[in-house]
Amino acid sequence: MPPSCAPINTPPALAGPALSGGEGEALGRSQGGFSTKLHLRAEGNGRPITAVLTGGDRHEQTALERLLDQGTIRRPGRGRPRLRPLRVAGDKAYSSPTARRRIRRRGITPVIPTKSNERRNPRFDRAAYRQRNRIERLINRLKQSRRIATRYEKRAVNDHAMLTIGMIKLWL
């Protein structure tokens, strides 16, 4: 038999649930069907620093630790002094005592509104929380890339690559 007609053995697909959180499919079934959640971290002017993909059925706080770890620059020693205090503005999905504790442990002030079933935080900074709309505008700018908006990619690795390209375009 000529080599072009030889049978090709392909390995079988692995059984089990699709991996979520940056590996595998990053698809999760929610009420609206299959979906993906995009968690972004941006700098003060609204330009992206890093992104984490999770399945649509995963909770936001599962990606919080990875989101805070990615994009940081480790410096030996104490580093240089900060001119302004660091703040993390998140929506109510990130509102829990453990999430706030994780953020404070890094020396960052959380600016997250409380849920209706939680005690109100008297130190909540409304003016700082209004800056969170920069993330919403950043997502809209990323979705100007058709491939990101319609999510043609089914693999999380490919989708994250397209997001990275879109984020680089916003920095240029």
Identify the CATH number of the domain in which residue 138 sits: 3.30.420.10
Asked if residue 156 is part of any domain, the answer here is yes
Q: What DSSP assignment string belongs to the chain?
A: --GGGS----PPPPPSPPP-SSSTT--EEETTEEEEEEEEEE-TTS-EEEEEEEETTS-GGGTHHHHHHTT----STT-PPPSS--EEE--GGG-SHHHHHHHHHTT-EEE-PPPTTS---TT--HHHHGGGHHHHHHHHHHTTSHHHHHT---SHHHHHHHHHHHHHHHH-
* pLDDT of amino acid 169: 92
Asked if residue 31 is part of any domain, the answer here is yes
Asked if residue 108 is part of any domain, the answer here is yes
23: pLDDT strictly greater than 60: no
Task: Look up the domain containing 92 and give its range.
Answer: 21-72+84-171
Asked if residue 11 is part of any domain, the answer here is no
Query: For 37-57, what is each residue's pLDDT tens digit?
Result: 888 888 878 888 888 888 877
Asked if residue 162 is part of any domain, the answer here is yes
Asked if residue 2 is part of any domain, the answer here is no
Query: For 94-134, what is each residue's pLDDT tens digit?
Result: 888 888 888 888 888 888 888 887 777 777 788 888 888 88
Asked if residue 4 is part of any domain, the answer here is no
Number of structural domains in the chain: 1
Asked if residue 129 is part of any domain, the answer here is yes
pTM above 0.75, yes or no: no
